[in-house]
A and B are shown apart, each in its own frame.
Chain A
Amino acid sequence: MKKISKIVGNIASFESMGLVDGPGVRFVVFLQGCPLRCAYCHNPEMWNASSKKIEMSPEELVEKIKRYRPYFKGEGGVTMSGGEPLLQADFVTEVFKLCKKEGIHTCLDTSGFGNASDQLLDNTDLVILDVKELDDDKYFSLVGQKMDKFRIFLHKCQEKNKKLWLRQVIVPGYNDTKESVFKLNNFAKDLKNVEKIELLPYHDMAKKKYEALGIAYKLQDVPNMDVRKCKQLEKLLKN
């Protein structure tokens, strides 16, 4: 008899054409719920884990993902993002297991804040890790949580030899300096399997969402990050 898992995922939304969240064309699943409260978060509507959005079994979700196979070709596949996908680690594990059976590339887009089982990482082809901050105090003030879990997760990825893409949001006046970028670069140098480092320019497009949700916007007076300057900083990483 076919085993049907009882696990149900709580999904905020889908992006069927993710072209910037992993290699190739990605079907991106945004999972509802996040333990962090990053000051620049552009998906605050995904914070609340108990708010039920689209509920789906892993089998149902994989059926949906399979519809996009013609676009995946060699590189593309599925990216689980959020919210924080590790908050629904069991669901993600089941989805990735099924995807691997189908030969679909799997990518976990995470802040590393959560528990990842061996089984989850064994079925993950690529981890996109959001390196929020490298300094403990700054990390806490930015995201509202301690850094321990991030370290444990990263350690586990290294142990398992997982391919890594590192990301950092660059916010004017906070980390838009050469020093900060060099620090990130040095941090990356000590890691293995880092394939890519991406700097994402901060933008305030989510402001309206905060207003609608009645949540105070912490970066009220911070301007958008200059895209060209951000690109220049990114070039420093390549050297």
Chain B
Amino acid sequence: MQEAWTGFKGTKWKNEIDVSDFILNNYKEYKGDDKFLQGASPKTAKLWQKCEKLLAEEAKTGLLDVELHAISGINTFAPGYIDKQNEVIFGLQTDAPLKRIVNLYGGTRMAEKALAAYDKKLDPTIERHFLEYRKTHNDGVYDAYTPEIRKARTAGLLTGLPDSYGRGRIIGDYRRVALYGVDFLIQQKQKDKLGIDVSCEENIRLREEVSEQIKALEELKKMAFGYGFDISGPAKNAREAVQWLYFAYLASVKENNGAAMSLGRTSTFLDVFIERDIKNGLLSEQDAQELVDQFIIKLRLVRHLRTPDYDVIFGGDPTWVTESIAGMVDEKKSLVTKTSFRYLQTLINLKPSPEPNLTVLWSENLPTNFKKFCAKISILTDAIQYEGDEVMRPLYGNDYAIACCVSAMTVGKQMQFFGARCNLAKALLYSINGGEDEMSGVQVVDGLEKCTDEVLNFSKVMKNYKKTLEKVAKTYVDAMNIIHFMHDKYAYEREQMALHDTFVQRLMAFGAAGFSVVADSLSAIKYAKVTPVRNENGVAIDFKIEGDFPKFGNDDDRVDKLAVEVAQFFFNCLQKHKLYRNAKHTLSILTITSNVMYGKKTGATPDGRKAGQAFAPGANPMHNRDINGALASLNSVAKIPYQNCCQDGISNTFSIVPDALGHDEKARVENLVQILDGYFAQNAQHLNVNVLNRDLLIDAMNNPWKYPSLTIRVSGYAVNFNRLSRAHQQEVIDRTFHEKR
């Protein structure tokens, strides 16, 4: 250890696992500009060219290849290479690039459906044995689900629940492997295990889990050995640090197929190793950029086997390899390093790409040069998302990272039980229709009265709505407790949890969709005259609206306060229920791209939205209803409370045409920085930035071949525009574009 740590300062981190202490003792803040950055090295250029060909091939059918003779596991696949002589960082999920893994632990149905869609069949022996001897997470969940949960799920009141595949959203502290080597981590886990007595069920489970974690760490070592690396000790130089860290991540995506398999916060950590090597004359700037570029290439190739339905809901093939960059240590010092710049530079060297999901933790106090660089890259690539460090740092400390789109957690100390989302707009219709589904006529929620008023009365509707939300919250919590109990039991993330503290804090992340639809609907009922059009069963299938009403997204407190009230009330309802493993309740206003699917499954709403019409994504105002310009829209969203309410994130996507952002590049960069500063200064949490023309998107929709790498930000992550379904493309085009007036 001593040799590998030569030149590194600090003591605490040397005696116990504390990556944050290591970073704070050793990193060098960088306040300069982007002039030092290098382009892609010849090796990188050659390698990426090869990858681009494979990616183009994959795009034709949606799947390049899948391993049919082995299933998920850290060592179930032989080492794989793309182009060995041009690779600098090694390791693939399987023995070939873009070859996907079949994972059966979450559930066999999903895997079977996915394979069938591509005319593939798993080795029958594996399938037979697995089905005969193993129970899956999905089996367990369905054994325990209540009739209420099943109905809510079928109706689309609760959707996207991780009950048939990996839950994801867990970030292993992959840096630990690079800093300490695997052996030290094993020793620490063994020590922890000794300290866990067997006095209760909870502890017995934990002892079993820690044993599994240790086994996974042994397997990780073996996997690296297959590539010719001994990672039992700490990384001795930058190249090893990147390689060790990547191996740790790689093992997690060999073993798990979670929706979001995020990376954490690695750039400033790696910068310490890179700068040490540069100082010692072992590495040039070009070498440093090569390491970063090649690491990013590997992350771009991560794949999971999904059904075509899944791809439709999520708009392509996302993996949410989210990497959190920058942020502050305290009010004065930032965590920006040259490697923060190098990560963003990959969007230039390797062209824009949705993955990894590069997330800048923004603060007004970040170095000006870095802020300008981010704005410049955003304008060029639309591939960065921004999240407010000033609202998250007080809650998570200065070593947290984002999982998926907007979910913050302290790296290695907290994990999340992912819980998809609840359709709040549908719940509102249930409160008007006595719990009967407006699309299917099925009684989904019991104990509610059908509203028979000719004109909707605000206080009555609000009262009913709250009663509905209380019932929905109960069903939602039940579902989540069951799902995560079973996931721990049948599909435990051994390797990822090995890279967490043994006594980890658990967050249970609930979610809400249809947020602005609900706000506008309540506003319409309150300020205009809303008359339901009912079918023969007395169910409102449409609404007649007379008069105008304030709409969310115009910085108008009359409606914005209704939105806040709903978020707070729903969160309070959830909090009333105890959670599995004493998890802490959190809530997100995030739809990812499921806003289109949610809309499809939801009848007409009292705000004038027609049946089947898409919701706005995340916490966004409804399309084209924010008529006072972008900042009014941002101000409305900024009012939704993060702390003690929507602590799992509030997603907002913002599209602006270049001409409206300023007359020239300099003005555009400066204005974007001002907007981000102003938005986050109001305790806002998240912003996706797209600087593009609607015409360009329409052209891309009709002529996809002209735009092979057109990346745009949607709710919480970036997608390749061409991989979106036509309905999603249309929805993106229909969104409010802030134009010049």
B555: chain A residues at CB < 8 Å are 16, 64, 67
With a cutoff of 8 Å between Cβ atoms, the chain A residues found around residue B677 in the complex are 70-71, 73
User: Does A19 sit at the interface, judged by CB under 8 A?
Assistant: yes
Q: Name B650-667 residues within 8 Å CB distance of A.
A: 656, 659-663, 667
**Does B233 have its Cβ within 8 Å of any Cβ on chain A?**
no
Bound CA–CA A67/B434 (angstroms): 40
Tell me, yes or no, whether B738 is within 8 Å of chain A by CB: yes
Report whether over half of chain B's contact residues are helix, strand or loop; otherwise say mixed. Answer: helix
Q: Is the CB of B628 within 8 A of A13?
A: yes
The distance in angstroms between the C-alpha atoms of A14 and B741, with both chains bound, is 10
- Does B203 belong to the interface (CB within 8 Å)? no
Binds A, one of B70-78, B458-466, B629-637: B629-637
Asked if residues A19 and B678 are in contact (CB atoms below 8 Å), the reply is no
Q: How many residues of A contact B (CB 8 A)?
A: 22
The complex places the Cα of A25 from the Cα of B671 at a distance, in Å, of 7
Query: Do residues B681 and A18 form an inter-chain contact, with CB atoms below 8 A?
Result: no
B interface residues, tally (CB under 8 Å)? 28
Cβ contacts under 8 Å, B627 to chain A: 13
Which residues of B256-275 have CB atoms within 8 Å of chain A's CB atoms? Answer: none
Q: Does A58 contact B (CB under 8 A)?
A: no
A71 pairs with B662, CB closer than 8 A? no
Q: Indicate which residue in A16, A20, A24 contacts B635 across the interface (CB closer than 8 Å).
A: A16
**Residues of B515-555 whose CB lies within 8 A of A:** 555
Query: Given the complex, which residues of B lie within 8 Å of A30, measured CB to CB?
Result: 741
Hey, which chain B residues are within 8 Å of A72, CB to CB?
A: 674, 678
Interface residues in B671-712 by Cβ distance below 8 A to A read 671, 674-675, 677-679, 681-682
The reply to whether B663 and A70 form a contact with Cβ atoms under 8 Å apart is: no
A16 to B553 Cα, complex, angstroms: 11
Contacts of B671 in A (CB 8 A): 19, 24-25
Q: Which residues of B contact A102 (CB under 8 A)?
A: none
Of B632, B635, B675, most buried by chain A (CB within 10 Å of CB) is B632
Residues of B contacting A24 in the complex (Cβ-Cβ under 8 angstroms) = 670-671, 674
Nearest chain B CB to A2 CB, angstrom units: 22
Q: Could you say which of A14, A16, A19, A64 contacts B662, with CB atoms under 8 Å apart?
A: A19
Contact residue among A20, A25, A73 (Cβ-Cβ distance under 8 Å from B631): A25
B357 to chain A, nearest CB (A): 26
Main secondary structure of the interface of A (DSSP, over half): mixed
Cα A198 to Cα B633 in complex, Å, equals 29
- B576: Cβ under 8 A from any A Cβ: no
Contact with B along A188-231 (1 / 0, CB 8 A): 00000000001000000000000000000000000000000000
Contact of A14 among B628, B670, B682 (CB under 8 A): B628
Is A76 at the interface (CB under 8 A from chain B)? yes
A73 to B670, CA, bound (A): 11
Assess whether B740 is interfacial by the CB under 8 Å rule: yes
B678:A25 contact, CB within 8 angstroms: yes
Measured between beta carbons, the chain A residues less than 8 angstroms from B661 are 19
Contacts A19-B660, A20-B660, A70-B681 given; indicate if A14 touches B629 (C-beta within 8 A): yes
Cβ-based interface call for A68 (8 A): yes
**Residue of A whose beta carbon sits closest to that of B684:** A70
Interface centre among A18, A19, A64, A71 (most CB of B within 10 A): A19
Residues of A within 8 A of B628 (CB): 13-16
| Bound Cα distance A16, B681 (Å) | 17
CA distance A218 to B293 in the complex (A): 56
Q: Which of B718-741 contact A (CB under 8 A)?
A: 738, 740-741
| CB-defined contacts of B630 to chain A, threshold 8 Å | 16-17
CA of A28 to CA of B738 in the docked complex: distance in angstroms? 14
Residue in A17, A20, A76 whose beta carbon sits within 8 Å of that of B663 in the complex: A20
CB-nearest residue of chain A relative to B626?
A16
Are the C-beta atoms of A71 and B740 separated by less than 8 Å? Answer: no
Q: A16-B629, A16-B632, A18-B629 are in contact. Are A73 and B674 (CB under 8 A)?
A: yes
Residue of A nearest to B661 (CB): A19
Q: How far is the CA of A73 from the CA of B672 in the complex (A)?
A: 13
| Alpha-carbon distance between A24 and B678 when the two chains are bound, in angstroms | 12
With A16-B555, A19-B661, A19-B667 known as contacts, the answer to whether A71 contacts B678 (CB < 8 A) is yes
B691 to chain A minimum Cβ distance, whole angstroms, is 12
Q: Which residue of B has the minimal Cβ distance to A227?
A: B659
Given A20-B660, A67-B635, A70-B682, check contact A15 B629 (CB 8 Å): yes
Residues of A within 8 A of B632 (CB): 14, 16-17
**Bound Cα distance A43, B740 (Å):** 13
Give the distance in Å from the alpha carbon of A207 to the alpha carbon of B679 in the complex: 35
A residues 41-83 in Cβ contact with B at 8 Å? 64, 67-68, 70-73, 76
Instruction: State the CA gap A62–B432 with chains docked (Å).
Output: 40
| A25 in contact with B674 given A15-B629, A17-B630, A68-B631 (CB within 8 Å) | yes
Contact A76 B629 (CB under 8 A): no
Within the complex, the shortest CB–CB distance from A118 to chain B, in Å, comes to 31
How far apart are the CA atoms of A17 and B661 in the complex, in Å?
9
| Residue on A nearest B555 in the bound complex, by CB | A67
User: What residues of A have a CB within 8 angstroms of the CB of B740 in the complex?
Assistant: 20
Among the listed A27, A67, A71, which residue makes an inter-chain contact with B674, where contact means beta carbons less than 8 Å apart? Answer: A71
Is B678 a contact partner of A68 (Cβ separation < 8 A)? yes
What is the bound-complex CA distance between A106 and B627, given in angstroms? 23
Give the contacts of A96-154 with B (CB-CB under 8 A): none
Instruction: Identify the interface centre among B555, B656, B671: most chain A CB within 10 Å of its CB.
Output: B671
Q: Is B631's CB under 8 angstroms from A16's CB?
A: yes
Check B660–A71 contact: CB distance below 8 A. no
A195 to chain B, nearest CB (A): 14
- Give the distance in Å from the alpha carbon of A18 to the alpha carbon of B674 in the complex: 12
Instruction: Looking at the assembled complex, report how far the CB atom of A15 sits from the nearest CB atom of chain B, in whole angstroms.
Output: 4
What 6 pairs between A and B have smallest CB-CB spacing? Answer: A71-B678, A16-B629, A16-B631, A70-B678, A16-B632, A17-B630
Give 8 A-B pairs besides A17-B629, A17-B675 with Cβ atoms closer than 8 angstroms: A14-B628, A15-B741, A20-B663, A20-B740, A24-B671, A25-B671, A25-B675, A71-B678
- 14 A-B residue contacts at CB 8 Å? A13-B627, A16-B633, A17-B631, A17-B675, A17-B738, A18-B741, A19-B662, A25-B631, A27-B631, A30-B741, A67-B555, A71-B678, A73-B677, A198-B663
> A interface vs B, CB < 8 Å?
13-20, 24-25, 27-28, 30, 64, 67-68, 70-73, 76, 198
Taking beta carbons and an 8 Å cutoff, which residues of B are in contact with A?
555, 627-633, 635, 656, 659-663, 667, 670-671, 674-675, 677-679, 681-682, 738, 740-741
